């Protein structure tokens, strides 16, 4: 253990779209000592299994599939010669930014990073978290696992399918399974609205006549070795099944698409403060977490539905990480800034603290709403003064929203103590 510990300016944990964009931006901001650590054998993250199109229209003005979108960033990282270690899993990050990795090639390694960018993505909510009773027979898959099986391994998980949960992966898989010759009986969603993008409901369900049953859930799974049937019932406002509404669907596969959770085991161990709402780190205007020099972006910060926004956010995190290591670290880790409150239908904002002295001329604040809303105004208040008021025809929990704040506006208010983002009826 006497060997000197490896020192790197910026270590990016995760080589998905967030990690790639962060590494590229850090390099372009002038810090060339950047290292990407990725546990998989290739870069690109979840995009490798997202073979459908719909990525990057806002970034590249053309509609790409997941692998194509990832390749653009991989090519750029190659061009810049950004170093990456594949097949390398990060086991631990300390609050002093010592990153411990394990790989088949090198065993256990430790790296002292000047700054760390967290870009580990998210994982699917496990089925154990669901209250579906009965045995746990084969044939119950999370939608993401099924996606991997079909698109990467080339195996069809089943022929007669029921999907629980209308998250995007479930919707995408409803179409995918149909194209592969399976029959998808229905998608059941316990909430009165879908958790997925509207475009996916149109082109993955409506196009194929697959019914979306809102306010419905699975109340029984039959079969000991393999799923034989599931029973679906309607639920009341309190999400309790309504007796007498049960319908039995014979099937061999139950697919679960019940949400994603940011992957924050490592962040927690590093002492990073996590938000109970997003389950991701609490960050300031620089996307810096509560631990100095540790930044976060992409799905590890909050779950995104649009990769374009992941790339933008990650580029900001990478740039800030580069500034952090190139500047005086002490200067960079001063006060936390002004809290951003999310109220009246706004569930959370990222960031949740803003220091006007340190922000760029403009700052994008992303948020999600708590329910489906029509014809509401998105308002921004600086203390009690309303400075933005913009009407939106439709907002839904499945779609991320944003407001752009101007530094000049914030600086113009002396003694500013709170920024509020909320929805208003007029």
Partner 1 sequence: MAQETRELICINCPMGCPLTVTLEDGVVTSVSGNTCPRGDAYGRKEVTNPTRIVTTTVPVDGSATERMVSVKTALDIPKGKIFDVVRELSGVRAQAPVEIGDVVLANVAGTGVDVIATKRA
Ligand X SMILES: Cc1cc2nc3c(=O)[nH]c(=O)nc-3n(C[C@H](O)[C@H](O)[C@H](O)COP(=O)(O)OP(=O)(O)OC[C@H]3O[C@@H](n4cnc5c(N)ncnc54)[C@H](O)[C@@H]3O)c2cc1C
Complex with partner 1: residue 52 or 358, whichever CB lies closer:
52
Nearest-approach distance from CB 407 to ligand X, in angstroms: 27
89 binds, among ligand X, partner 1, none (CB under 5 to 8 A by kind): ligand X
Which 217-276 residues touch ligand X, going by CB under 6 A? 263, 266
Chosen residue from 256, 310, 342, 380 binding ligand X by CB under 6 A? 310
* Binders in 115-154 for ligand X, by CB under 6 A: 119-121, 147
Contact in structure between 327 and 334 (CB atoms under 8 Å): no
Q: Cβ 289 to ligand X, closest distance in Å?
A: 15
Q: Tell me whether residue 234 or residue 264 sits nearer to ligand X (CB atom).
A: 264
14 binds, among partner 1, ligand X, none (CB under 5 to 8 A by kind): ligand X
51 interacts with, out of ligand X, partner 1, none, CB within 5 to 8 A per kind: partner 1
> What is the per-residue binding string for ligand X in 362-381, x denoting contact by CB under 6 A?
--------------------
90 binds, among ligand X, partner 1, none (CB under 5 to 8 A by kind): ligand X
Specify the residue, 37 or 161, whose C-beta has the smaller distance to ligand X: 37
Q: Is 77 in the site for ligand X (CB under 6 A)?
A: no
Residue 278 binding result from partner 1, ligand X, none, given CB thresholds of 5 to 8 Å by partner type: none
* Interface with partner 1 (CB under 8 A): 41-42, 48, 51-54, 57-58, 63-65, 67-68, 71, 150-154, 176, 179-180, 197-199, 201-203, 207, 305-306, 393-394, 399
Which of the listed partners (partner 1, ligand X, none) does 203 bind, with a CB threshold of 5 to 8 Å by partner kind? partner 1
Q: CB of 262: closest distance to partner 1 in angstroms? A: 20
78/273 with CB nearer partner 1: 78
Name which of ligand X, partner 1, none residue 238 binds, using a CB cut-off of 5 to 8 Å depending on partner kind: none
Question: Toward ligand X, which CB reaches closer, 65 or 245?
Answer: 65
CA gap 295, 314 in Å, rounded: 9
Neighbours of 226 (CB within 10 A): 12
Smallest distance, partner 1 to C-beta of residue 211, A: 17
First to last CA, the chain: 65
Q: 160-164 and 183-189: which strand pairing?
A: parallel
State the SS3 of the chain.
CCCCCEEEEEEEECCCHHHHHHHHHHHHCCCCCEEEECCCCCCCHHHHHCCCEEECHHHHCCCEEHHHHHHHHHHHHHHHCCEEECCEEEEEECCCCEEEEEECCCEEEEEEEEEEEECCCEEECCHHHCCCCCCCCECEEEHHHHHHHHHHHCCCCCCEEEEECCCHHHHHHHHHHHHCCCEEEEEEECCCCCCCCHHHHHHHHHHHCCCEEECEEEEEEECCCECCEEEEEEECCCCCECCCCCEEEECCEEEECCCEEECCHHHHHCCCCECCCCCCECCCCCCECCCCCEEECHHHCCCCCCHHHHHHHHHHHHHHHHHHHHCCHHHHCCCCCEEEEEECCEEEEECCEECCCCCCCEEEEEEEECCCEEEEEEEEEECCEEEEEEEEEEECCCCCEEEEEEHHHHHCCCCCCCEEEEEECC
- 109 near ligand X, judged by CB under 6 A: no
Q: Name which of 206 and 265 has its Cβ closer to partner 1.
A: 206
Q: How far is the CB of 256 from partner 1 (least distance, A)?
A: 22
Per CB under 6 A, residues contacting ligand X are 13-19, 37-40, 45-47, 50, 52, 54-55, 89-90, 119-121, 147, 168-169, 172, 263, 266, 298-300, 304-308, 310
């Amino acid at each position: 253990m006497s060997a000197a510990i490896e020192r790197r300016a910026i270590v990016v944990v995760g080589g998905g779209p967030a990690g790639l964009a962060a590494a590229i931006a850090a390099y372009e901001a002038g810090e060339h000592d950047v290292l990407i650590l990725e546990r998989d054998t290739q870069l690109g993250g979840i995009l490798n299994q997202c073979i459908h199109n719909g990525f990057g229209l806002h970034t590249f003005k053309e509609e790409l599939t997941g692998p194509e979108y990832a390749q653009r960033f991989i090519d750029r990282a190659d061009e810049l010669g950004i170093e990456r270690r594949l097949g390398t899993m990060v086991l631990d990050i300390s609050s002093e930014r010592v990153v411990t990795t394990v790989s088949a090639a090198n065993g256990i390694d430790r790296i002292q990073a000047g700054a760390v960018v967290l870009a580990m993505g998210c994982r699917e909510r496990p089925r154990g978290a669901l209250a579906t009773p009965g045995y746990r027979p084969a044939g119950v898959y999370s939608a993401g696992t099924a996606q991997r099986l079909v698109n990467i391994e080339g195996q069809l998980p089943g022929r007669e399918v029921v999907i629980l949960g209308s998250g995007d992966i479930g919707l995408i898989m409803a179409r995918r399974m149909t194209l592969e010759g399976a029959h998808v009986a229905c998608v059941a969603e316990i909430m009165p609205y879908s958790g997925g993008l509207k475009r996916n409901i149109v082109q993955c369900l409506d196009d194929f006549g697959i019914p979306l049953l809102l306010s419905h859930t699975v109340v029984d799974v039959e079969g000991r070795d393999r799923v034989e049937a599931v029973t679906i019932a309607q639920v009341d406002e309190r999400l309790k099944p309504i007796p007498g509404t049960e319908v039995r669907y014979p099937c061999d596969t139950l697919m679960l698409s019940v949400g994603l959770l940011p992957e924050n085991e490592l962040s927690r161990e590093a002492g990073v403060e996590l938000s109970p709402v997003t389950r991701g780190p609490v960050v300031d205007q620089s996307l810096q977490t509560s631990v100095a020099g540790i930044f976060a972006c992409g799905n590890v910060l909050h779950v995104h539905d649009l990769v374009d926004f992941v790339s933008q956010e990650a580029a900001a995190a990478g740039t800030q990480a580069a500034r952090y290591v190139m500047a005086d670290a002490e200067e960079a880790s001063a006060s936390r800034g002004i809290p951003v409150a999310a109220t009246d239908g706004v569930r959370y904002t990222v960031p949740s603290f803003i220091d006007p002295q340190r922000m760029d001329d403009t700052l994008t604040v992303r948020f999600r709403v708590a329910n489906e809303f029509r014809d509401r105004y998105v308002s921004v208040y600086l203390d009690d003064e309303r400075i933005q008021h913009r009407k939106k025809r439709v907002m839904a929990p499945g779609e991320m929203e944003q407001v752009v704040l101007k530094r000049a506006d914030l600086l113009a208010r002396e003694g500013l103590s709170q920024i509020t983002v909320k929805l208003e009826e007029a």
